[in-house]
Amino acid sequence: MRIENYPHKTRIHCETGSIKNMIDFYGFTISEEMIFGIGSGYDFIHFPFPMFNKCETPLFRNTPGKIFLKFSKRMGIKKKIFKFSNPDKAMKALDAVLEKDIPVGLVVEILSLPFFPLKDRSFPAHTIVIVGKEKDEYIVSDCDYHFPVEELNFIKEEKLKEARYPKSLLSAKGKMFYIEDVTQIKDIKKAIRTAIKDTCHQMLEIPFPYFGAQGIRFLAKRMRKYDKIYGRVRALDNLKWQLQTSEEAGTGGSGYRYMYATFLKEAAYYLQDDSLLTFADEMRKVADQWQSFAIEGRRYYKNHENKDMNFLADILITIAEMEKKLFEDLRKWLYNK
């Protein structure tokens, strides 16, 4: 079993990139940034307890799988999404779909992928696409940008099963998804407006301190207390992991913001509304600020003697205010449409 002509390409991010490649396979053209925007991928969440690598982890996007769910629903793409409590049933279900020449998306643990370039990162919500099987090996399209060349990879059946069911409370439990039909595509203009409204809600209206713009402010407050809460060594561990999360281990803080800026720019074209270009410019400024936070954070990590993290927290407060104002203005724009 091998799906011919699957357009394997390295992309910006694993989930949106996988969706982009799958969509291209079915002959429908749309940018990865539009997938991200229409899928309301933009978000911020910070829970005040260790999540990954025994550290607090800020999430700069919606939870894994939500982008595909929202994008396909808003665009009228017929799809299937499954979870399996039994690993053997999960593998049989995967084989059954592959036999129909359908590419299948899976959510897996990076550490269990023997071909993945980074060997020291644990993340149980990485997206890959299976495009075939030869004997006891599956053919994998992993579009992560860390790969030095664009080529398909192979993984043994038992190893893939392990990757689908890592020993983690955050495991996706064998989650798989695939596209059935793209012939009933809906109006992209309506999808864009619906998505922007949803993202404004995520960033402004969730009544818990961990979410949205107030979640960024909440992280700033936590960071001011890290030395007291964790001690110097673990406080630095938390900072290092958060910097990896925000800029090194994935699309991260600035990357998702740059993607959303491009989405707004493309949305301006589809909706014929140049005011969205102004929002795109403001979003790029937000992304630049996240990059500055990462640069200053790395400098601090290398030379932290007799210093605290207050100046880093101050940068986060500035970002929180920028994101809050931008989405408040974007929400006003929606109400006036």
Taking the alpha carbons of 246, 248, 250, 254 in that order, is the dihedral positive or negative? positive
Mean pLDDT, the chain, integer: 92
* Mean of pLDDT values over 4-11: 94
Task: Give me 309's structure tokens.
Answer: 């993290």
* Mean of pLDDT values over 227-252: 81
Task: Give me 36's structure tokens.
Answer: 């991200």
CA distances from 221 to 49, 71, 208, 309 (A): 14, 34, 15, 10
- Per cent of the chain over pLDDT 90 is 75
pLDDT per residue as tens digits for the range 159-174: 999 999 998 766 788 9
* Mean of pLDDT values over 81-102: 96
Q: What local confidence, expressed as pLDDT, does residue 64 receive?
A: 82
Contact 123/245 with Cβ under 8 angstroms?
no
Q: Is the pLDDT of residue 211 over 70?
A: yes
DSSP 110: G
Contact 323/216 with Cβ under 8 angstroms?
yes
The residue among 330, 285, 320 whose CA lies nearest residue 192 is 330
Q: Is the pLDDT of residue 93 over 90?
A: yes
Q: Is the pLDDT of residue 242 over 60?
A: yes
SS (H, E, C) 161-224: HHHHCCCCCCCCCCCEEEEEECCCCCCHHHHHHHHHHHHHHHHHCCCCCCEHHHHHHHHHHHHH
Q: Is the pLDDT of residue 122 over 80?
A: no
CB 75: neighbour CB atoms within 10 A? 23
Amino acid at 204: L
Q: What local confidence, expressed as pLDDT, does residue 1 receive?
A: 85
* Mean of pLDDT values over 103-124: 89
Q: What local confidence, expressed as pLDDT, does residue 50 receive?
A: 81
The residue among 95, 105, 109, 98 whose CA lies nearest residue 141 is 105
Work out the pLDDT band at 249, boundaries 50, 70, 90. very low
pLDDT per residue as tens digits for the range 261-297: 999 999 999 999 999 999 999 999 999 999 999 989 9
Work out the pLDDT band at 118, boundaries 50, 70, 90. confident
Give the three-state DSSP class for 275.
helix
Work out the pLDDT band at 337, boundaries 50, 70, 90. confident
- Per cent of the chain over pLDDT 70 is 98
Q: Is the pLDDT of residue 251 over 70?
A: no
Residue pointed to by tokens 């060349």: 149
